[in-house]
Amino acid sequence: MYYDLYDCGQYDGRYRAAELMVMLGIRHRQQIEHYSDVGILYQKRYTFVRVEDGNASELAYEWDRVTQVLKGCGHDLGRIPIVVSRDKRKRR
């Protein structure tokens, strides 16, 4: 998850929550989420704007599309094993 940081209304850059925590001395990640959701200023000068990850929505769409095709073919999705390889050599 990324956030656009504005300092007194001026765009400063795009950062991860962990980076903002270090830069601004924020102790809890939830603070960034809260300030972004509510739209209030942090320390009366910083604004956080959550940036939606377009890739995540594409993956969700692809997942829905594929599962609908499988359901349409009569497959019981509850019986399909999903395996995550822990061996890095086998990853593609």
- Domain tally, the chain: 1
49 inside domain = yes
State if pTM tops 0.85. no
In order along its 92 residues, the chain shows pLDDT tens digits of 899 999 999 999 999 999 999 999 999 999 999 999 999 999 999 999 998 776 667 777 787 888 888 888 887 877 777 776 666 555 54
Domain that holds residue 34: 1-81
20 inside domain = yes
Length of the chain: 92
23 inside domain = yes
